[in-house]
Amino acid sequence: MRNVYVLGTGMIKFGRYPDKTVPQLGGQAAILALKDAGIAIKDVEMFACGNLMQSNAMIGQRILQQIGQTGIPVINVANACATGSTAFREAYMSVAAGMYDIAMAVGVEQMGKAGLLGGAGGGDPAYLTEGKLGSGTMPAVFGQAGIEHMRKYGTTREHFAKISVKSHKHATKNPFSQYRNEVSLEDVMNARMVAFPNTLYMCCPTGDGAAAAILVSEDKLKQLAGGRKRAKVAASVLTSDPWTDRDLTLPDVSTLTRRASKQAYEKAGIGPKDIALTELHDCFATAELVHYENLGLCGDGEAGKFIDSGGGVHPGLGGHDPVNVSGGLLSKGHPLGATGVANICEVVWHLTQDDRAKERQVPNAKAGQAHVIGLGSACTIHILTV
């Protein structure tokens, strides 16, 4: 497999764009990435597009109708919350395998105010929790994961609330974030309960968004980068759930990430202590806390202690091992197909000291990771280095 680099990235501000179509949003991000890379659409040899809500609508081809149809192969990807990051991996694999030298990945979604999302399984009775463990909506599923951690390790509601406070403060420095308002611990604790222990501010908002990346081989990097620092994809991992004896009515939200994380660190040849920043899938504050342990940022049962010591907080705010300095999904929003590529963009910007992360730059960042899971199941982890 060949070395692969991210030559250019593009992202629109997450929000709500009722006057735009999905291809228009994706096209905007693609054009930004092309400009950042210093190339034109005619230079791109392969295109992978991630979109979930219109997965039968050939969004990739429709984006090319916006920015230039050159006859290249297009792959349309749908893989739950890991849709965008799976599209990125398809582009990565095509270059790493030597089939193409320049590939583009776009993640895009238009959700508006979609409300509470249902669980995995597409109505399969095996997954239905109604009448067994309560609601099958995503806030409840991840609320259950939080309660389980509380029962097992003595984690408190305040620990989850501190994550929300941290992420909202981070978002004030990110112009791409849908919401940029600070919240206090009291605000989070006293907000409307959605699914215990997740209050309103512990739940990610839906919305619209798009992000794009241009991936190139090492030879093309030398030709096109012009001496600019560019991030290498040190590991690209995609996993699904192995069989366990865990009942599907109480989903296992951890094994998927733990297996992917182990593979990613091995492929990259580094460990958690080498990671300068992490963008992880914080669909809910409870999810972020359990993923601290799943990704090896702290030991099992130590997430509460990690939080209390400033873990996950930007070093500029007195913390360490920063997580979701973009504001995360809790503030940035979670347009499903866009999230995976957006997380990668954030990591790339810090590693290359891009002006788009200037206000929140993590100092001396040499390696970072982007993580997404989708129940049902899919998990991607990408480790990038400079």
Please name which of 248, 278, 245 lies closest in space to residue 121, comparing C-alpha atoms: 248
Closest CA to 145 of 310, 334, 278, 303: 303
Q: CA–CA separation, 222 vs 238, rounded Å?
A: 28
The residues facing 9 across adjacent strands are: 213
Contact 362, 276 (CB under 8 A): yes
Report the residue count for the chain. 386
Asked if 379 is an active-site residue, the reply is no
What span, in angstroms and rounded, lies between the C-alpha atoms of 106 and 342?
A: 9
> What residues contact residue 323 under an 8 Å CB cut-off, 6+ apart?
277, 278, 279, 280, 282, 288, 292, 297, 311, 312
The span from the CA of 127 to the CA of 6, in Å, is: 38
- As beta bridge partners, residue 243 has none
For residue 81, the cross-strand partners are 79
Residue 326 vs residues 127, 186, 282, 362: alpha-carbon distances, Å: 33, 22, 11, 11
Separation between Cα atoms, residue 67 and residue 62, nearest integer Å: 9
Decide if 43 contacts 333 (C-beta within 8 A): no
Q: Which amino acid is at 12?
A: I
- Which is the catalytic residue, given 81, 283, 298, 379? 81
Structure tokens at 211: 């992000």
Lookup: tokens for 321: 């091992």
Peptide bond preceding 175: is omega within 30 degrees of 0, i.e. cis?
A: no
> 243: Cβ–Cβ under 8 A, 6 or more apart, which residues?
none
- C-alpha 131/C-alpha 25 separation (Å) is 40
Give the residue numbers marked as catalytic. 81
